[in-house]
Amino acid sequence: MSGDVARPDAGGGSVVIDADRLLDTFLALLSVDSYYGDEERVVAVIKPRMEGLGIVWRSDPHGNLIGAWPGRERDGEPIVLNAHMDTVRPTPGMVPVVKDDGVYSDGSSVLGADDKAGVAAIMEAVRAVHASGQPHAPIELVFTVGEDVGHIGSKAFDPSEVRGRRCFVLDAGEAVGGVVTRAPGQRRFEFTFRGTAAHAGVEPELGVSAIAMAARAIDRMPLGRVDAITTANVGTIQGGQAYNIVAPEAVVNVECRSLSEARLERQAADVAGAARQAAADFGGAVDIETHTFYTAYQLDDDDPAVRLADAAIEAAGLEPRHVSTGGGSDAHEFNEKGITSVCLGVGYVDVHTVTEFMPHEALRDVTRVTTELIRLA
Ligand SMILES: [Zn+2]
């Protein structure tokens, strides 16, 4: 039996992906600059390449692209496939460089495989399953905006835009086969320390340094890898006016993450407590603004969505691995909105850096996993 021929039975691995078309699509996606706000350029690559498949497209008011692809010989609840269309910076003038082992940037920008590898995999998987003529469930495609700047598209997404309540998010930095079943919650803080300005040379005793306050607070905060499931970071600090002025104000931004919401609560209290104590020590004040960036989630190993992911990975000839991550993704927001969302390893390497690259093998593997998701749903 020829490996090129799609077998009509659902017995196994029978949808053939077109590796050249996949690479061509991936390069076309990479070549458009799509920082948050410019995702229309990605939409303009996706739509023409997916004509003739029966997909009904629409955009929601936030710029997310939603496609409904009817089932073939099957009905029922669709599954949702998601990837995000934006990338981090710098991307202007991105020139993808194809080498033997994968696709790289030219070193002056990120590659943007995060998450255009996910977009390309979904596009090719749909086309390959369509071409195979095999039965498949209805599929909903959701391509989001602004993931990397703060899950903007998925936070704004109205879950009634889709019928599916199982979503597969192609956006984990794991090797292909990785299935994220545990992800952290994240709390963000902006501390504004307030002291009193004074001439630093003439009458420093009349001043209260907000910078010294901030320094003491930071020194008392549990930071870095706080424990096995908890991390914290001082991301930015600004303050002061001049060499010769005791600083009246300093602003410190801190994030904390934990796989446990209860543990995150304690970590948040520790960080805020350190800030208040330092302000009190100096006779100054601190304003604390906090917000929950996203909430921790955990999926059961035998959740139907997780089991479908496992089955698809196995059908693609790979080994499923359930992992916990320290990162955030659109899966956080969809899970919060009642759409069970499984984030899957895409296999991109060194994301958010100019050395980011996408191995050819991983791109093909994640595409095969996606075809199996569509076939087995
Ligand atoms: Zn991403």
Question: Which residue ranges form the domains of the chain, and what is each CATH number?
Answer: 19-183+296-376 (3.40.630.10), 185-292 (3.30.70.360)
Q: Is 32 helix (H, G, I), strand (E, B) or coil?
A: coil
Over residues 70-74, the mean pLDDT reads: 95
Which of 222, 195, 214, 234 minimizes the C-alpha distance to 278? Answer: 214
What is d(CA 2, CA 18) in angstroms, rounded to the nearest whole number?
A: 15
The answer to whether the pTM exceeds 0.85 is yes
Q: How far apart are CA 90 and CA 111, in angstroms?
A: 9
User: 114: CA distance to ligand 1 center in Å?
Assistant: 5
CA of 322 to the centre of ligand 1 (A): 19
> 86 CA distance to ligand 1 centroid (A)?
8
Whole-number pLDDT of residue 92? 73
Name the pLDDT band for 12 (thresholds 50, 70, 90).
very low
Alpha helices in 147-230 (DSSP H): 152-156, 210-220
Q: What is the DSSP string of 100-117?
A: SSEEE--SSS---HHHHH
Catalytic residue among 115, 140, 147, 372: 147
Question: Nearest 5 degrees, angle CA 343-CA 155-CA 105?
Answer: 55
CA–CA gap between residue 362 and residue 311 (Å, rounded) = 18
Q: How far apart are CA 331 and CA 183, in angstroms?
A: 9
317, 215 contact by CB (below 8 A): no
Displacement of CA 230 from its chain's centroid (Å): 19
> Is residue 147 flagged as an active site residue?
yes
Spatial CA neighbour of 97 closest among 87, 108, 88, 86? 108
pLDDT tens by residue, 224-235: 999 999 999 999
Q: Point out which residues pair with 84 in neighbouring strands.
A: 144
The mean pLDDT value for 180-189 works out to: 97
Coil, helix or strand for 192?
strand
For the chain, give the number of residues. Answer: 377
**Residue 167 — very low, low, confident or very high, per pLDDT cuts 50/70/90?**
very high
Tokens 């070549």 correspond to 31
219: helix, strand or coil: helix
Distance (Å, rounded) from C-alpha 256 to C-alpha 272?
11
**Buried b or exposed e, range 47-61, using 16+ CB within 10 angstroms:** eebbeeeebebeebe
Q: What is the CA radius of gyration of the chain?
A: 24
Catalytic residue of the set 86, 140, 171, 356? 86
As a whole number of angstroms, the distance between CA 155 and CA 62 comes to: 10
Kindly indicate the confidence band of residue 9, based on its pLDDT and cuts at 50, 70 and 90: very low
Q: Answer whether residue 113 shows pLDDT above 90.
A: yes
Give the confidence band of 95 by pLDDT, cuts at 50, 70, 90.
confident
13 pLDDT exceeds 80?
no
Start-to-end C-alpha separation, the chain: 26
pLDDT average, residue stretch 328-351: 97
Q: Can you give the pLDDT at residue 94?
A: 82
Backbone angles phi, psi at 219, to 5 degrees: -60, -30
Q: Let me know: does 200 contact 207? Beta carbons within 8 Å.
A: yes
Average pLDDT over residues 12-36: 91
203 catalytic residue (yes or no)? no
Q: Which pLDDT band, with edges at 50, 70 and 90, does 89 fall under?
A: confident
If you average pLDDT over residues 111-119, what whole number do you get? 96
* Average pLDDT over all residues of the chain: 94
Report the pLDDT averaged over residues 53-63: 98
Q: Is the pLDDT of residue 3 over 70?
A: no
Tokens encoding 93: 């003038």
Q: Band the pLDDT of 90: cuts 50, 70, 90.
A: confident
Scan for tokens 């109205």, then name that residue: 158
**Ligand 1 geometric centre to CA of 162 (Å):** 21
Q: Give distance in angstroms: CA of 151 to centre of ligand 1.
A: 10
